[in-house]
Structure 1
Amino acid sequence: MSSDTPEQPGWAPPEGSWASSPANRKSMLGNRNRDTKPELLLRRLVHAAGLRYRVAAKPLPGMRRTADLVFGPTRVAVFVDGCFWHGCPEHFVPPKTNPEYWEKKIGGNMRRDRETDARLAEEGWLVLRFWEHQDPAECAEEVCAAVSGRKGNKGRLRSTGR
């Protein structure tokens, strides 16, 4: 077993690694999967509006995917998608290094997002997706309106047997 690190000569990425360089690997390992700045801004505004939610939670039992904010009683799941990782039509720029890998990776993320949306909708959930570049205040207004609008339907949602 080699004791080489990314900073040392002779370093090589682990077998099958996506890293094209030691610097790239170090950078990618530092990416957050929750508590990003856009998520925190949205959460702060929604909380200030008096709504309570679960953070980074699974909307459905047994579902491997988590939503950034989950309003269980009203069945609203909120996702704040990063422009790079989810293929934003406005801001996504495909990397020039290892383009085949990234095309497959980002495409898979987008397919998984659509599958998640469909599965939650089948179970009576409202899915709200926002891009990281969207105005947090506008997103918070939309979340608050959706949750408030579904509170009146709470009894009907629970009676669906799902």
Structure 2
Amino acid sequence: MSILSPIQTMSTVLTQHPFWKNLPSQFFPILEEHATYQDFRAKEKMFSKGQNADYFYLIIEGRVTIETPFVPGEGVISVQHVGAGEPLGWSWFFPPHKWHFTARAVEPTRCIVFDAARLRQLADADPAFGYQLAMRVGTLVTERLQATRSRLLNICEVV
């Protein structure tokens, strides 16, 4: 028995997800066609540093930790947590399309998952969609890098 809530229609979830806020409505049918749900158990690894970044995740429910690889003297460090209403992953958007961190579900987590190669193809084929996607991913990268920098500075101050 799953402790995750019943699955809503993809259309409803996509249009309500904050990542797509103010996205022109003509793009939602395209996104819906290429979106699937995926559930992860608590402590389940979603992806690992160095693997191909083949998917883009929007967290619907649950929480995920983003971890560094092993740091001498520190071990694995959780640099950030992301949860419901947040996107997960940006490495899929930029060559060489390899994950820079590892992601692990902290608790049961439900995501909408997109095939990254397909999203990139759609962005290439439709510059208006590509612009919308690039602006959102660019904002995500900026936010995550600032959060990671802050977290790592806090760790260094403690040491």
TM-score class normalised by the smaller sequence: 0.3 to 0.5
| TM-score when normalising by structure 2 | 0.34
Pair member with larger Rg: 1
